[in-house]
Structure 1
């Protein structure tokens, strides 16, 4: 009888562990599905926004729709990276100075002046522009400046929609997405070590996919 009880308990433990594992897998799959649905919804919103808005004569090239999701993923990464880094610095007073410095890594700067400043300082990245900027002389010099500096650029959607995607209230004429630096893996390791709620991974992969899409759609950057 004792042997039978031990076997029964062992089987119960195995079943319980399997159930927990299955729940975790299902939760992960559900989270992925929710994210996919959310991206699909936002992509439809961008399509509708662009269909019904004013598009300036200089708004070329437009980012192809198949790269919208890459763009959205980069924006999401930048947002959660900034929030996560701020949280880690505030809640860990004994954090090493080297790690604090790494956590101050920038992924995006917003606004015409900040974009120009980043390019002049020699940073590499991607410039995203709004399609409905008026009058166009506000921004018409930027595409040529990007080409002179070998910075890929593309037009995506309206000023208000860009602001919404960046979780801001004020409209956005343009933004600069920074190329990942050599410390990006250490940045991700540090964030994920201290912040378990929102993991961040693969910024380089996300950036490279978007960069490929932007370059592929622009004759100047195809050579």
Structure 2
């Protein structure tokens, strides 16, 4: 009888410990999920805050008569993501070029690749040379004759364009101090994967990914936003 009671007690203790273990695993899993969710929420909140700032900036600033179409709010995140990518890609590639003297010429040339061109003169020159991409234009350029020819020029060369925000805000999004009239986001070439791999190999803590995907999403958004490019 005593043996049966002891066996029953041991079984209960065993079941209890198993329940405790399962409970602790569940708790740990939920904590990890919560942490991931919090990180995603913080990132999402970061972009949402910037989008609200852009909306407020546009509301309170001068908007030229030619600033049509302005990029809709729902597409602004695509702009923010690709500009973030460009900034960190440039930061990482510059650091690699400065600290790695043993890089071969091919990799050095690859890391000097431009993903973005800034300024009206440079943008026009780039388009005339036959480069493809997306043009983002400031809404508050004055006098408007500085830039009024750019939309028709882009249409002539079948380059999707859109008006986004003010010159100063556009500069802020690019992490620059000087104001920006317009910028040209270059279409990724066949070497973009090698470019990303090279940077990630030397900067594993600050990896960059999916420029092609970011570009495709943005160009799709800009075309949807503009009647000229929907045909």
Which range, TM-score by smaller chain? 0.7 to 0.9
- Between stretches 94-103 and 127-136, larger displacement belongs to 94-103
Q: 78, 85, 100: which is aligned to 1:92?
A: 100
Could you list the runs of 4 or more consecutive aligned residues of structure 1 that deviate by over 4 angstroms after TM superposition? 21-30
C-alpha offsets along residues 147-203 of structure 1, whole Å, 9 cap, x if unaligned? 111100000000111011111111111000000111000011111111022110001
Q: Distance in 2 between matches of 1:42 and 1:199?
A: 23
SS at match of 1:154: strand
Change (3 A) 1:186 1:26: farther
1:204 aligns with 2:212: yes
Deviation readout 1:80-104 (Å, 9 max, x if unpaired):
0000111111121111221111111
1:219 and 2:227 aligned = yes
Match of 1:139 among 125, 128, 147: 147
Q: TM-score, normalised by structure 1?
A: 0.87
What corresponds to 1:51 in structure 2?
59
Distance, in Å, in 2 between the alignment partners of 1:169 and 1:23 is 41
Equivalent position to 1:64, from 49, 72, 80: 72
User: Are positions 1:174 and 2:182 aligned together?
Assistant: yes
Partner of 1:176, secondary structure, is: strand
Counterparts of 1:183-194 in structure 2, within 5 Å, are 183-194=191-202
- C-alpha distance after superposition, 1:111-164 (max 9, x if no partner): 101111110111000000000111100000111110111100000000111011
Among 121, 130, 133, the alignment partner of 1:122 is 130
Shift of 1:22: 8.8
Q: Secondary structure at the match of 1:128?
A: strand
Offset at residue 28 of structure 1 (A): 5.2
User: 2:36, 2:203 → 1: CA distance?
Assistant: 18
Structure 1 residue corresponding to 2:42, chosen from 34, 42, 60: 34
Q: Identify the residue that residue 164 of structure 1 maps to in structure 2.
A: 172
What is the aligned residue count? Answer: 208
Once the two structures are TM-superposed, the CA of residue 214 in structure 1 deviates from its matched residue by 0.5
Q: 1:151 aligns with which of 141, 149, 159?
A: 159
1:54 Cα offset (Å) = 1.1
Higher mean C-alpha displacement, 192-201 vs 73-82: 192-201
Q: CA RMSD in A?
A: 2.1
In the TM superposition, residue 34 of structure 1 has moved relative to its aligned partner by: 2.4
